[in-house]
Amino acid sequence: MALVRERRLPHLNLTVELPVPAAADCRLRFPVSPQRCSTSYAATDDAEFRLSEFEKLRVLGHGNGGTVYEVRHRVTAAVYALKVVHTDTADAFLRRQVYREVDILRRAAGSDRVVRFHGMAPTPSGDVALLLEHMDGGSLDALLRRRGYRPFPEPALAAVARQALLGLADLHSRQIVHRDIKPANLLINATGEVKIADFGVGKVLRRSLDPCDSYVGTCAYMSPERFDSESYGGDYDPYAADVWSLGLAVLELHRGHFPLLPKGARLDWAALMVVICFGEAARAVPEGAASSEFRGFLDCCLQKESRKRWSVAELLGHPFVAADYRAESEKALQDLLHEEMDEP
Ligand code: ATP
Ligand code: MG
């Protein structure tokens, strides 16, 4: 990921310009309603407040961009996630990147399947902090780790896939592509809701895509056409690329490790390019290790030629995620989650 970002930084054609708040004014935009954990108000219903109104409880995660903390509002006791993105004030790219993430989060407000955004502020040290809905089950990547890398059962995977597809449907209908779908960017809460997070490399499509821009994203989850667009579908279709990444993320949760390489293998750029472009991701599930519905679903997501891949809308009608089994699959996901969350 770092490699990809470094390689592409000079070529990014960023279109979102938001004003940079004055460093002295460390105020966040804050929801007036003091409810815990966020799901009941729109991200636009916010008022201003100060960072000092929060206490940090613990670190929730680290990423390339910064650190995410669990924080509690000192008066209301409402709990949020605070993503502190390290922005070097001298580096306009980093600052624009964070404002782009904020712009996307605001555009996605109202989607039940995208992590809610409540406000942003500069920190006293010159970083930028984003106040987000706290997803108390963490990322699916961390959930897999907590399970000792035991694969998720199929019904639970169906619930993950269906909810992530609903999130992508909301994004794609707003002309937003995520470009970094992976288990670490799919978060879950205690009720078993799965939401899409981390729009650090997302993009609002305003015109045809700059081909230089198509490499952004974690390369392990990048589709073949992002390495070689001519061989795998011609024009780069960023919506289809999100579908590939989702298929691979679901497959990883099924296998318990990155599915295109042997367990424990180092993920370097060259090895990834070879397995993604010349391997057969859709056949990474051994015969007999999955139902025909699940295999069919993976096949639709992981077509190497982007034109043959199903769209998000088509996938939502696939029997693997069909509404008939919705209650059963959501219960399976909740059971799996509570097995891990209830452990001492
Ligand atoms: P990346 O390396 O993917 O670019 P990043 O710096 O953009 O990462 P995020 O992916 O947004 O940061 O967050 C990093 C980690 O922090 C996530 O994988 C997750 O474990 C945790 N996290 C992020 N947002 C939340 C949230 N809203 N609730 C709970 N945990 C969160
Ligand atoms: Mg991330």
pLDDT at 126: 82
Q: Say whether 180 is catalytic.
A: yes
Q: Which residue of the set 180, 198, 237, 242 is catalytic?
A: 180
Dist. CA 142 → ligand 2 center (Å): 12
Q: Which two tokens stand for residue 192?
A: 């078993």
Dist. CA 290 → ligand 1 center (Å): 30
Residue 70 pairs in a beta bridge with 58, 81
Dist. CA 218 → ligand 2 center (Å): 9
- 103-117 burial, b at 16+ Cβ within 10 Å, e below that, comes to bbbebbbebebbbbb
Nearest residue by C-alpha to atom 10 in ligand 1: 198
d(CA 189, CA 179): 23
pLDDT at 106: 93
Burial class of 20 by CB neighbour count within 10 A (0 to 12, 13 to 18, 19+)? middle
- For 20, residues 6+ apart whose C-beta sits below 8 A from its C-beta are 95, 99, 122
**What pLDDT tens digit does each residue of the chain (344 aa) get?**
333 333 332 332 222 233 333 333 334 443 333 333 333 333 334 445 588 989 999 999 987 778 999 999 999 999 999 999 887 656 677 778 888 899 999 999 989 999 999 998 888 888 889 999 999 999 999 999 999 999 999 999 999 999 999 999 999 999 999 999 999 999 999 999 999 999 877 655 554 444 334 445 578 898 998 877 777 766 778 899 999 999 999 999 999 999 998 888 887 888 888 899 988 887 888 778 899 999 999 999 999 999 999 999 999 999 999 877 889 999 999 999 988 766 65
Residue 80 pairs in a beta bridge with 71, 133
User: What value does the CA radius of gyration of the chain take, rounded to a whole number of Å?
Assistant: 20
pLDDT at 208: 41
Q: Is-contact 224 277, C-beta < 8 A?
A: yes
Identify the structural domains of the chain with CATH numbers, from first to last. Answer: 27-133 (3.30.200.20), 140-341 (1.10.510.10)
Nearest to residue 101, comparing CAs of 16, 12, 210?
Answer: 16
| Nearest-atom index, ligand 1, CA of 65 | 6
Tell me which residues have their CB closer than 6 angstroms to ligand 1.
1, 60-61, 63-66, 68, 81, 83, 115, 132-135, 138-139, 142, 184-185, 187, 197-198, 200
| Nearest-atom index, ligand 1, CA of 115 | 27
pLDDT at 242: 96
Residue 242 pairs in a beta bridge with none
